[in-house]
A and B are shown apart, each in its own frame.
Chain A
Amino acid sequence: MSVEPVPAAAPSAGELIRNGILTENPVFRLALSLCPAVAVTTNVTNGIALGLAVLAVQVLSSVTVALTRTRIHPRVRIPVYTLIIAVWVSAIDMTLAAFAPAVYAQVGLYVKLIVAFAIIISRLEMFASRYPLVPSFWDGLGMGLGFLFALMVIGALRELLGNGSILGFQLTPAKPLLFFALPAGGFFSIALLMALFNRIERMMGGTGAPSGGGSHGV
């Protein structure tokens, strides 16, 4: 009992990945899941850690939903999607706590919050519930990679300017602009990077405006 008739052709793997990283990059274009993008990116390592966690949750949830979408009663599909995401988030949370405690101490709270990210559940609703396993996997991977990429870029900018280091390796003797390591700097970093992405997209022929913007229509 699937939700809607399966669309004619699923996009190819390459298209899906490029979509996730560039055209519909969750952070810079769709402006979803912004909370961790600012909170966790004081340095690249934390950004990568959370990015990988989100990637894992996205891929695993997409795959799970794609496999079980015939069994999910359509009227309770949102709660079931939420449940699936929550299970994977808890599993990844526990795994991180067990095998990467140093990183977990920094990003623990935000890993648990992954369950509230709109990006994941909206992806499940729009894609994984309608397409079979393989395209759903690529879509999840694309979105996850886009998110990881965004976190890495923001993290790099903030760590380089705020601390003078990259991945822990000190490049400058003093902190160039401590401001970027602070919460306010996080907001500014994203503002700059979003504007940059808009510019790039306009140069590549698009409209230059984020298609989401977390506007929710209001």
Chain B
Amino acid sequence: MASRMPVARPGLAFALAVVTAALAAVLMMLMLAPPVEAAGDPIAHVRVAPPNEIVVRLTAPPADPRPEDFRFTEASAPDAPIPVTAVRVEDGNRVRLTLDATVHPSQHYRLEMTRPAGARDVRPSALALMFTIFLSSALINNFVFTRYLGLCVFFGVSKRRETAIGMGITFTAVIIATGMFSWAVFTYVLKPLHLGFLQVVVFIGAVAAVVQFLDTMLKKTHPQLHRGFGVYLMLITTNCIILAVPLLNAAADASAIEAFSLAVGSGVGFALALFLMSCAREKLELARVPKSFEGLPMAFALAGLFALAFMGFSGLDFFR
């Protein structure tokens, strides 16, 4: 089977190229996004400081700010202002407001000021949002150990470390491509035309199309790579995760950044799960296992132990 072992470095390069290109596109989007503040806006930046404070950085030194100069509301309840109980001026044009309720950086708020007049939407930065979703889909709600998706392929490919790594990399590259393609089709074609009920057909079609495209492209451009990775590509089509990611994005009506983060997170989570499992299974081959448990049953028990361990990630919160 040596000839079927994936050639690690070119494969790595290929996959990394895809991922890097995608990342570069996203970063460019973020950087080229128009600056949020308009000229003459007195508010430079607002930061939520849990449990019940916010820090406002102004463009000019504050002139005797009082609680009644500020109006702070949750974005979803603009008619119910959160009372500001205290105001404290700090150096660097900063004002610290103490509020009568708990606030959290992951929520959306709106701050309005009267003297001088200004307003700002307070929401988590795009990077923070991406990281939260990434962390959630890779660790907290790991697709294999918490959501039990992708098991079919998982147990097949996790026997050896090299194959696990190969599959993990391929999968991450493919899911980013199919995830974003499906997102685009859903957002710009299905949703405006109210064709949501065609989700399943369209997404599986998108998956098949992208996989076929990658397969053909790889066969022409890097035949050697294709021999190593081709079999994984075909397997990916029946992997539940590859369909679950577009479905979840559609159900949550995700934005491009959210969809991208979920795709990357799920790919990395799957790769991580594969890698961990393969390391353990290699050791398992040397162990004495009861006859009835040989093979898959023991692998399942192992997966159960990993799932237990992953439960420990449950309360992980990037913002805390």
Contacts and interface: CB of A to CB of B under 8 A. Distances in A.
Nearest to A34: B151
A125 to B, nearest CB: 12
B243 A116 contact: yes
A195 B251 CA distance: 37
A184 B305 contact: yes
Contacts of B304: 184-188, 191
B201 A191 contact: no
Contact of B244 (A83, A109, A117): A109
Contacts of A195: 290, 292-293, 297
Given A116-B240, A198-B292, A208-B291, A192 B307 contact: no
A39 B149 contact: yes
A39 B147 CA distance: 7
Nearest to A118: B238
A209 B294 contact: yes
Given A35-B240, A117-B238, A218 B156 contact: yes
Given A34-B152, A188-B304, A209 B200 contact: no
B239 A187 contact: no
Contacts of A33: 152
Nearest to B151: A34
Interface extent on A, as a size class?
35 or more
Interface of A: 31-36, 38-39, 79, 82-83, 86-87, 89-90, 93-94, 109, 112-113, 115-118, 121, 182-188, 190-192, 194-196, 198-199, 202, 208-210, 213-218
A79 B155 contact: no
A216 B300 contact: no
Contact of A113 (B153, B157, B205, B243): B243
A113 B163 CA distance: 25
Nearest to A122: B238
B300 A188 contact: yes
B292 A218 contact: no
Interface string B192-208: 00000111110011001
Q: Is the interface of A mostly helix, strand, loop or mixed?
A: helix
B23 interface: no
A215 B299 CA distance: 12
A112 B292 contact: no
B296 interface: yes
A112 to B, nearest CB: 5
Contacts of A217: 231
Given A32-B152, A34-B151, A187-B301, A89 B200 contact: yes
Given A116-B204, A116-B239, A188-B301, A213 B155 contact: yes
A185 to B, nearest CB: 7
The 3 closest A-B pairs by CB, nearest first: A187-B304, A191-B300, A184-B307
A115 B204 CA distance: 8
